[in-house]
Amino acid sequence: MQKLFMIKYGEISLKGNNRKLFEQKLMQNINLQLRGVPHTVIRRAGRIYLQSKPPFEDTIRTVLKKVCGIVGFCEALQTEKDIEKIGEAALRIVGDLLQNRPAASFKIEARRTDKSFTHTSYQIACTIGDLLRSRYEQLSVDVSRPDWTISVEVREKAYVCGPVVGGTRGLPVGCNGKGLLLLSGGIDSPVAGFLMAKRGLHLDALYYHTHPYTSEQVLHKVKQLCGVLSGYIPHMRLLVADFTDTQLAVKERGAANAVTLFSRASMMHIAARIAPRNGALCLITGESLGQVASQTPESMHFTGSFSPLPVFRPLIGLDKEDIIELAKKIGTYELSIQPFPDCCTLFAPKHPLIRPDYTALKQEFAQLEMDDLLEKTEGKVRIVEF
Amino acid sequence: MREVYLDWAATAPPDPLFLDIMHETATRYYGNPSSVHRAGTDAAAVMEEARMRLARGLGCLPETLFFTSGATESNNMTIQALVKRALVLKKDFSAYTVITSAIEHASLWEPAQMLKKLGFGVKTVRPDAGGIIQPGALARLMDKQTAVVMIMGVNNETGAVQPVKELVRGVRDFSAASGKNILFHCDLVQALGKLPLSLRDLDVDSASISAHKIGGLKGTGALYLKTPANLDFLSVGGGQEKGVRPGTENTAAIAAFAALAEKQQPLIRPHLEQSREKMDMLISEIGTIPAALIFPECRTAAADAHYSPYILSLAFPPLPGEVAVRILNDHNIYVSAGSACHSHKKERTRVVESMGVPKALAECMIRVSIGPATTSEDIAAFLQAARKHVAARSRIGGPRSLNKPQHTTGPRHSAGPRRHTG
């Protein structure tokens, strides 16, 4: 009898002829995210299984919950195709589960792809269900809303699986190419990155550092945020661009109430040029409609026009509360709310433009003669690996 | 590049004497001062000798000094003693009123705010525009409910020296007239080792001091209690420090603290003179930097006895204080910011705001604090960096707005401290 994790994936199974590619990506990501942990990932008859050893199981459970593309996983025992062995496995699984709670309801779901097996699916369910009930008095059967669903699958081998633990869902990171996330250190941008990673986008993050106007603590916070995101995005890198000269030029040359928009325009411009050099073909921002002055349709029309690459804004239709809930779920919230601002008050206009005139502002920006500075900033990028 | 340390009010660099004494005491007198055997009694003797030496320098009796972990604990202890008294006497908390000043250090201000939440009466006496608490302002707040008055000796942000003797006299006069015994607590952290100090002369009922501000070990300090029986404390345990502050004493740090205080005692006046010269140089040179402001505006020369020549607050508006600190840090010059950009809490700018300085300007404040080892070269290095790097950075700003009438961008034109012009 061998213990293993059975990994379930949803959307990938819809991918027709590309399914194998998606599965391979998923396996590759599981291996990457479990580097340093002894394990083996196997693909067998349209399923992914993971084998490991006892001291590492907790780590594996934590990691599998974060691998994009996994709908859920369960801990299973692989056994011979023999109804008695299957019964033994079911008793062991339920025995383990009962160590953490005194009583529970359960149901058995049985499937067999091997039609030559001695018992039909229905017979398997009845036999194993009776066995469990006769051994453990504290168990009751509930087929509509059970506490535990124990599944038995008879395929090339027999598998008895415990309850399914939910995963992150979505698609494996990297199966949809790569993007560049504009990461600020606030609540929104890490969530935006997570949502795009969940759609299979591999990410690097770009942070604009404005020393001495912003502190090293913000940079440290951004690194910590990347650390959390790298739990979902294997091999994520942080690019740190020195933005001080650009920021000062915008402040000195631009109209006071347009400073934020000009800064963001510069950020878009730089990001769109850094991205392709790092294999990224789209930008991701944490903008949410109407949240601040630079996130109105007019403002985003202006700032977005500085990127020839598509700009994805996955939070655009979300309320702040929804974003906070997601941030808490993915583990970035507590880091994001540390009180180190990513923009110095010096560069935040008291009365920023809310609905800028697109043409006028484009002309205004052109007059700032920022090209040389923007190009210089594009060249001043440090890379931090995770 | 040489490091220039101008943050002595935060902590002083360790005095070599303290390191020697720490090492020797920790090695030789390792016994628990409460133990009965010789290792213990020897350690107790070292500690009692330290208490005596410290008391001599402070102008008080040894039995009125109690070693603590520092001024934060000492300040908290006096506040908590009030809570215990009210609890023991089963009195309504609202029957007690504490008067504290708006310029207190957070280690006293925050516990006072806690008292407020518990239901005690808490009144705040505001300073004048110069950052000084006037006896008249205090007198207006005292009434029959007043139990304790808490006002510091030297403000840690502005260096304003408080007229503690006059304030205490005012409290005593009110007590005599009303028949109500009011205690006076004084945080003397920034006065210790810097200004001539006699607790007997000041006539305060309790006071807090900290060792690391004079080059001793962090986590060591003392609470002075003129009449120890007047206060009953919350912490209980092994009965150390006559039950005032239980917990095994840090003999080595205490011995070093006392030795340092003793060593510095005869040097206080000469150091004061030297520091006045340096502060004079600093203040007059700052006056030639058009972008710089000094808090409070009435502070012009270091010779002014109302301000400690060890502490100076200034600003380069609209540059936030935290940014100025980072710029100076890039040039290996260490000062501190009055407020951190990140905190929108009132607490960060409370002290200077209470002097009538607008919040936006208060956020630009930095504090330069010097010590006996500060050299004229240190001051010159600071001034050069301030002029060349900080003041230059404060002159940025967009000239106009689009689609809207022009508006100002910062505190540049606001009322407040005088901008020095060359």
CB contact under 8 A, A252 and B318: no
What integer pLDDT is reported at residue B340 of this predicted model?
Answer: 60
Asked whether this chain's domains A2-166 and A178-385 adopt the same fold, the reply is: no
User: Over the stretch A144-174, which tens digit does the pLDDT of each residue have?
Assistant: 999 999 999 999 899 999 999 999 999 999 9
Q: Which CATH class is domain B16-265?
A: alpha beta
What does the domain layout of chain A look like in residue ranges?
2-166, 178-385
CB contact under 8 A, B323 and A211: no
CB contact under 8 A, A256 and B399: yes
Q: Angle at the Cα of B399 (from B397 to B403), degrees rounded to 5?
A: 125
CB contact under 8 A, B401 and A255: yes
| CB-nearest partner of A213 from B323, B342, B400 | B323
Percent of chain A with pLDDT over 70: 99
| CB-nearest partner of A257 from B342, B343, B401 | B401
Fold for the domain defined by B4-10+268-395+409-413: Aspartate Aminotransferase, domain 1 (3.90.1150)
In whole angstroms, what is the distance from residue B361 CA to residue B413 CA? 10
DSSP B408: -
User: Over the stretch B229-264, which tens digit does the pLDDT of each residue have?
Assistant: 878 888 888 889 988 999 999 999 999 999 999 999
User: Over the stretch B185-209, which tens digit does the pLDDT of each residue have?
Assistant: 999 999 999 999 999 999 999 999 9
CB contact under 8 A, B398 and A360: no
Query: A259 near A380, Cβ under 8 Å?
Result: no
Q: What is the CATH number of domain A2-166?
A: 3.30.2130.30
**DSSP 3-state assignment of B394?**
coil
Q: What is the CATH number of domain A178-385?
A: 3.40.50.620
For residue A377, what are its two tokens? 């900033």
User: Over the stretch B4-26, which tens digit does the pLDDT of each residue have?
Assistant: 999 999 999 998 888 899 999 99
In whole angstroms, what is the distance from residue A373 CA to residue B146 CA? 63
CB contact under 8 A, B402 and A213: no
For all residues of chain A together, what is the average pLDDT? 93
What is the ipTM, given to two decimal places?
Answer: 0.78
Does residue B134 have a pLDDT over 70?
yes
Residues of B in contact with A255 (CB under 8 A): 398-402
Taking CA atoms, what residue in B is nearest to A347?
Answer: B397
A5-9, A328-332, B219-223: lowest mean pLDDT where?
A: A5-9
CB distance from A54 to chain B under 8 Å?
no
In whole angstroms, what is the distance from residue A333 CA to residue A331 CA? 6
Give A275-341 as a DSSP string: HHHTT---EE----TTSSGGGSHHHHHHHHTT-SS-EE-TTTT--HHHHHHHHHHHT-HHHHTSS--
Does residue B394 have a pLDDT over 70?
yes
Taking CA atoms, what residue in B is nearest to A214?
Answer: B323
User: Over the stretch A112-141, which tens digit does the pLDDT of each residue have?
Assistant: 998 999 999 999 999 999 999 999 999 999
Q: Is B82 exposed, middle or buried (0-12, 13-18, 19+ CB in 10 A)?
A: buried
| CB-nearest partner of B396 from A252, A341, A364 | A252
Give residue B118's pLDDT band: very low, low, confident or very high (50, 70, 90): very high
What integer pLDDT is reported at residue B420 of this predicted model?
Answer: 42
In whole angstroms, what is the distance from residue B173 CA to residue A202 CA? 75
Q: What is the distance in angstroms between the Cα of A328 and the nearest Cα belonging to chain B? A: 22
Does residue A233 have a pLDDT over 50?
yes
User: Over the stretch A301-313, which tens digit does the pLDDT of each residue have?
Assistant: 999 999 999 999 9
CB contact under 8 A, A215 and B326: yes
Q: What is the distance in angstroms between the Cα of B397 and the nearest Cα belonging to chain A? A: 5
Residues of A in contact with B404 (CB under 8 A): 257, 351
What integer pLDDT is reported at residue B72 of this predicted model?
Answer: 95
- Residues of B acting as catalytic residues: 341
Stated pTM of the model:
0.85
Taking CA atoms, what residue in A is nearest to B412?
Answer: A346
What integer pLDDT is reported at residue B406 of this predicted model?
Answer: 37
What integer pLDDT is reported at residue B403 of this predicted model?
Answer: 54
Does residue B212 have a pLDDT over 90?
yes
Does residue A295 have a pLDDT over 80?
yes
Percent of chain B with pLDDT over 90: 78
Residues of A in contact with B323 (CB under 8 A): 212-213, 344, 346
Q: What is the distance in angstroms between the Cα of B1 and the nearest Cα belonging to chain A? A: 19
Pick from A38-52, B213-227, B406-420 the range whose average pLDDT is largest.
Answer: B213-227
For all residues of chain B together, what is the average pLDDT? 90
A202-209 and A178-182: which strand pairing?
Answer: parallel
| CB-nearest partner of B409 from A212, A256, A353 | A256
Residues of B in contact with A341 (CB under 8 A): 341-342
What integer pLDDT is reported at residue A219 of this predicted model?
Answer: 94
**Best of B396, B400, B406, B407 to mutate (most A CBs within 10 Å, chain A):** B396
Q: What is the distance in angstroms between the Cα of B192 and the nearest Cα belonging to chain A? A: 33
Give residue A21's pLDDT band: very low, low, confident or very high (50, 70, 90): confident
What integer pLDDT is reported at residue A340 of this predicted model?
Answer: 81
Residues 6+ positions from B190 with CB-CB distance below 8 Å: B9, B152, B153, B154, B155, B156, B159, B213, B308, B310, B311
**Best of A257, A263, A302, A354 to mutate (most B CBs within 10 Å, chain B):** A257
Nearest to B199 by CA among B231, B174, B165: B165
Q: What is the distance in angstroms between the Cα of A242 and the nearest Cα belonging to chain B? A: 15
What integer pLDDT is reported at residue B143 of this predicted model?
Answer: 95
Give residue B414's pLDDT band: very low, low, confident or very high (50, 70, 90): very low
Q: Angle at the Cα of B412 (from B408 to B416), degrees rounded to 5?
A: 130
For residue B385, what are its two tokens? 């960096």
